[in-house]
Structure 1
Amino acid sequence: MSPGQWLLALAAGACAALMGAAIQRGATCTVAAVHELMDQGRGTRLRSLLEASLWVAGGLLLLRALPLPAPTLPAPYAVSRWTLLGSALLGLGAFVNRACVFGAVARLGNGEWAYLATPPGFFFGCLSVDALFRVRPDPLPGGSALFAAPLALGWAWAAFVLWRVSGPWRRRGGHPRLAWTPHAATLSIGLAFLALLLLEGSWAYTDALAELARGMAMGHGTRLGLFGCLLAGAMWGGWRAGLWKARTPRAVELLRCFSGGLLMGWGSLLIPGGNDGLILLGLPMLWPYAWVAFATMCLVIAAALWAARQVRPASIA
């Protein structure tokens, strides 16, 4: 690799590590968001997830106005019964795992080693999906409705981000203290994802595992290296917050996490798209199948939580 390529790789690794730390510190998780909404009647975490999508949408608009190479984006897909089945499996897998793919990273950042079984489960789900579901999602012709918006919205987004980022300096007289609120975390996730989009193209760790399982030549080494940086960032975030406490997993916990990952792997290829890819790319691009899939996933998680409490009225988080 040339010095320039090394610099790009280091920059991409730093962005992935920042994303991991933000996921851990912001406790970003769809299961936790639905849990909060059902138990406390508050949508703080759910709004934060949607806010991450908003940051990415604004960034994509701004990139159109800048003299930079356009990032390579995946094709959208049509809404079908496979979209609904896949998102139901994705939601059920997140419930079994007790964390979505974001939440699994956050749990690993706390030292919950049982969640090391989630990525292998996801991988084997992607590996076995064709043997169970012989389906090929139909591509959706046409571009994204997002790019029909005026370019001025991209510049307005940039000004808004600068205003948000400068908030701590303005409020604390130039001596800010970083507080990893859900809003700060989602801003960091969105900006880090945009930087990775420019440096490495469309990247989500679930996509990297899916491509590896299906034998697609998409730079496995680089993408898996970014996954390692993501996990390292999450663990650093947990250590910095004083939340790191290595927990030796029991066999039943490893089985639960592997099974949850397996279900999420099946669901992600039927939709297609994992939870992270849906939130950070599908929703911002205003693709209908992504919005349908995310909403269905949330409803399935809520239904599973409700049903579990009828059988065993204990807290499931």
Structure 2
Amino acid sequence: MSEFLVNITGSGPAAATMKIWAGIALLGVLGFVLGFALNQGSICTVIATRELVSEKRPARFIVLVEGAVLAALVYAILKASPTMPQGWLPLAYLVPAAMLFGLGTYLNGACVFGSVGHIGNGEIDFGFAFLGIFAVFYAESLFDLVPDQPPTSASLPVGPALIALALLAVLALRFGVSRRSESNFMRLTLSMGAIGITFTLVAIFEPGFSITAPIGSIVSIPVAGAVISVCMFAGSFASARFMRRRFTLKWPTVKTAVRRTLAGTLMGLGALLIPGGNDTLLMIGLPMGAWQAVLAYVLFVATLAVLIAKFGSMAKSWSCGDTKR
């Protein structure tokens, strides 16, 4: 991002200060739009998997794939390489980590994306999930429990034209399966479009950003992670108010707080050992064509699907127009 801002602000002490503030403002705007879109579209892997397993409705799951393809298109257009802040750990870590992450998201009732959306709705108990995630990453930063892996990046194997065609194909597939059972095609399209673009831009400007890894992010602006997070949750709050014209905080019970914290701890452990949660896998790992990302995401979703098929799930979309006709 530094080179991008230098072209705008020039050089010198005053320009350097302006560059910092311009960078913070840009990241804040991107974070706000990301949070707004997550809440607007009820974007969540748990909801998508439940609809697929329990109701045989694949549209919301397809839109997650759509987001990964869109992210790849943004990388290709900007000629940027997707970068993992830490390289992939061996399979001995990755496989159980993906399953742990799936178990954590099931207990939480929402993935990382979905938790941001729920908090915007006033369900502040989902904040305890982030507390659990934070605790895991903070403990690892203190005791250095996980082997360090150097950052890894990869150029996209195909150009923007082919990726654009793939994106159109995924859109056409989702439109085909949505015609008779869904009434939210445009809402999901716009929401996932905003998520794919904003998350990818943040990942390009600030390599190391991840919703699941607030500790140890590699950011050039010291307060960047905090600004993005605050603005992201503010965007989710704004979206909920925009949709409902009202807002009510739902205070958690002790039982709920304990469950969300435990779920967040499991999610944090999984994200630490993969490394990366569903946000990193979808928007960085899959666009870079990493087989580790494919394997981790498949295992994560498979774990979710088995648990939902066996025990059921109460996870459901909160967006207007997201019900079956």
TM-score band w.r.t. shorter chain: 0.7 to 0.9
- Residue 237 of structure 1 is matched in structure 2 by 239
Aligned residue number for residue 202 of structure 2: 196
How far has the Cα of 1:132 moved from its partner? 11
Higher deviation after alignment, 113-122 or 71-80? 71-80
**Structure 1 segment 143-292 matched on structure 2, within 5 A:** 144=154, 147-150=156-159, 152-153=161-162, 181-207=187-213, 209-211=214-216, 219-242=221-244, 244-292=247-295
Distance 1:194 1:22 in 2: 14
Describe the superposition over 1:94-120 as per-residue Cα deviations: whole angstroms up to 9, x where unpaired: 011111111110100100011121111
Q: What's the TM-score once normalised by structure 1's chain length? A: 0.80
Paired residues in the alignment total 286
**Secondary structure in structure 1 of the residue aligned to 2:251:** coil
Give 1:1-317 correspondences, 5 Å limit: 2-64=17-79, 74=85, 76-77=87-88, 80-128=91-139, 135-136=146-147, 144=154, 147-150=156-159, 152-153=161-162, 181-207=187-213, 209-211=214-216, 219-242=221-244, 244-309=247-312, 315-317=313-315
Q: 1:202 to 1:180 in 2, by over 3 A?
A: farther
Q: Any stretches of 5+ residues in structure 2 without a counterpart?
A: 1-15, 173-183, 316-325
> Cα offset for 1:221?
2.3
Structure 1 unmatched ranges of 5 or more: 165-177, 310-314
Distance in 2, matches of 1:75 and 1:128, equals: 17
The answer to whether the Cα contact below 8 Å between 2:74 and 2:200 also exists between their aligned partners in 1 is yes
Pairwise CA distance, 1:203 = 1.7
Structure 1 residues 116 and 203, CA, compared in 2 at 3 Å: closer, same or farther? same
Structure 1 distance, partners of 2:34, 2:146, is 33
Distance 1:92 1:211 in 2: 24
Aligned-partner Cα distance in 2 for 1:90–1:240: 32
Q: Alpha carbons of 1:180 and 1:123: their partners in 2 closer, same or farther (altered >3 Å)?
A: farther
User: RMSD across aligned C-alpha pairs, in angstroms?
Assistant: 3.1
Cα distance 1:136–1:230, how it changes in 2: closer, same or farther (>3 A)?
same
TM-aligned CA deviation for residue 256 of structure 1: 1.1
1 CA distance for matches of 2:143 and 2:97?
12
- Give, in angstroms, the shift of residue 220 of structure 1: 4.9
How much does 1:5 deviate?
2.4
The CA deviation string for residues 157-216 of structure 1, in whole angstroms up to 9 with x for no partner, is 7x97xxx9xxxxxxxxxxxxx996112111000111232234323422212x2427xxx7
Task: Evaluate the alpha carbon distance shift between residue 282 and residue 43 of structure 1 in structure 2; reply closer, same or farther with a 3 A threshold.
Answer: same
Identity over aligned pairs, percent: 26
TM-score relative to the length of structure 2: 0.78
Quick one: distance in 2 between partners of 1:280 and 1:118? 21
Following TM superposition, by how much is the alpha carbon of 1:83 offset from its aligned partner in structure 2, in angstroms? Answer: 0.8
